[in-house]
Amino acid sequence: MPHMTLDRTDLPSLAEALAGQGRRLVLPVREGQELFYREGADPAQLDLSSIPKNSIKEFLFPKCEKILEYEYSGNDVIIEDVAPDAKPTVIFCARPCDAASLPVVEPLWNWDYKDKFFNERREQTLVVTYACRTAPDEACFCVSVGLSPSSDQGSDVMLYGVDESTVAVRLVSPKGQEQEEVFAKFKKGEASDEALEGFAKEGDESLAHRKPLDKVKGWLEEHFEDPLWEDKAFRCIGCGTCTFLCPTCHCFDIQDESVFDAGCRLKNWDGCQFSLFTLHTSGHNPRDTQPKRYRQRIYHKYAIYPEKFGKTLCTGCGRCVAYCPVNLSLYDVVATAQERAEKGE
């Protein structure tokens, strides 16, 4: 089946047309040397030269959100539910590893409790993904976790920059197909299935040097105590950058903030790299050193979450590799685990 194509120069207008239907618009723009997904940015500033530093997580799971309000009244507390502040949204030109994080975390937000805050935002978000022709950064390793530079997991629409001036469109989900008319207005030509397959192949080849990580889970299960943890994670300063930039890390903290006798309950980002994260009221801390906290991050992503939900809690976006201030590369650590598993160590 042929796919419609558009002119690359029409992408900003397409973004506006999608947003024009009352959606908030999120797209990648340049700030200094780096790209960031920003809400309300000028579509003319759309920048596709690399992968943004932040992930799309903050648009579905904001860093700070109100989940209820309360007021003391005599001896009673009156609790008021608050509705999620969810708005129709289009995330325009998400990267495949960001889009793919959504189906990874969905089971978490719908496990024993259905989180209406995430779910309503997810419901109202249209994800238009810009496939990577070749891996945009040295840190990328999506292929190692079963994804690829042109993966459509979690995407409603896929855009493929097949050449300098042309972008092919594939409507993936029913939500994406509903937008057919908007895309059709910009139609300039057609691209074949083969053209898209060739595109995908080029992307995969650009990451041919990355290892599969299929043996990591088994290795971890046997190596909770191993010199690897201190050797690698000695350098970790517990800065939380890796967890906060990660599209799949989802830990949060609950805070009550009140002024006199009324206040609200907030859900804020939190992370397992902080010493306070597991500190008990007794003073005991089961993860009392940084290597133990770092090990936890790897276990959660590559052993515990897969065990519980059948998915790796990592899309290989490489942010924790690229932005760790001490260059403690998660890929290195899991690739070492894979290697040792292959050697039977």
Partner 1 sequence: MSDRTDKIREVARKWLADGTVEAVVGWEQGTYREKCSPVLVRKPEDADRLLFNDRCTNNLMTYLKRDPVRGMEKVGVVAKGCDIKSLIGLLQESQVEREKVMVLAVTCEGVKKDDGTVPIKCQACDVNTPTFYDEIVGEKVASNPDPEARFKDLEKLDAMTPAERNSFWREELDKCIRCYACRQACPLCICSRCIAEKNQPQWVETSPHPRGNFSWNLVRAYHLAGRCVECEACETACPVNIPLMLLNRAMARTVKGAFDYEAGKDPEVQPPLRTFNLDDDNSFIL
Positions touching ligand SF4 (CB under 6 A) are: 236-242, 245-248, 273, 294, 301, 314-320, 324-326, 328, 330
For 242, phi then psi, to 5°, come to: -60, -40
* CA 167 vs CA 1, 28, 199: distances in Å: 16, 17, 11
Binding to partner 1 (CB under 8 A) within 254-273 occurs at 255, 257, 266, 268-269, 271
Binding to partner 1 (CB under 8 A) within 295-324 occurs at 321-323
DSSP 12-68: HHHHHHHHTTT-EEEEEEEETTEEEEEET--GGG---SS--SS-GGGGTS-SEEEEE
Cβ atoms of residues 119 and 110 within 8 Å: yes
- Cα–Cα distance for residue pair 125/157, rounded to 1 Å: 12
The distance from CA 207 to its chain's CA centroid, rounded to whole angstroms, is 19
Residue 330 touches which member of partner 1, ligand SF4, none, C-beta under 5-8 Å by kind: ligand SF4
Residue 266 touches which member of ligand SF4, partner 1, none, C-beta under 5-8 Å by kind: partner 1
Q: How far is the CB of 251 from partner 1 (least distance, A)?
A: 12
Binding to partner 1 (CB under 8 A) within 19-48 occurs at 31-34
Show the binding pattern over residues 199-238: x = contacts partner 1 (CB under 8 A), - = does not.
-------------------------------x---xx-xx
Of 48 and 330, the one with the shorter C-beta distance to ligand SF4 is: 330
134 lines the binding site for partner 1 (CB under 8 A): no
- Cα–Cα distance for residue pair 345/339, rounded to 1 Å: 9
Of 180 and 253, the one with the shorter C-beta distance to partner 1 is: 253
Instruction: Write the CB contacts of 255 (distance below 8 Å, at least 6 apart in sequence).
Output: 265, 266, 268
For 130, phi then psi, to 5°, come to: -105, 105
338 lines the binding site for partner 1 (CB under 8 A): no
Encoded amino acid at 49, one letter = S
Contact residues toward partner 1 (CB under 8 A) are 31-34, 53-54, 63-64, 138-139, 230, 234-235, 237-241, 243-245, 253, 255, 257, 266, 268-269, 271, 274, 276, 289-290, 321-323, 325-329, 331-332
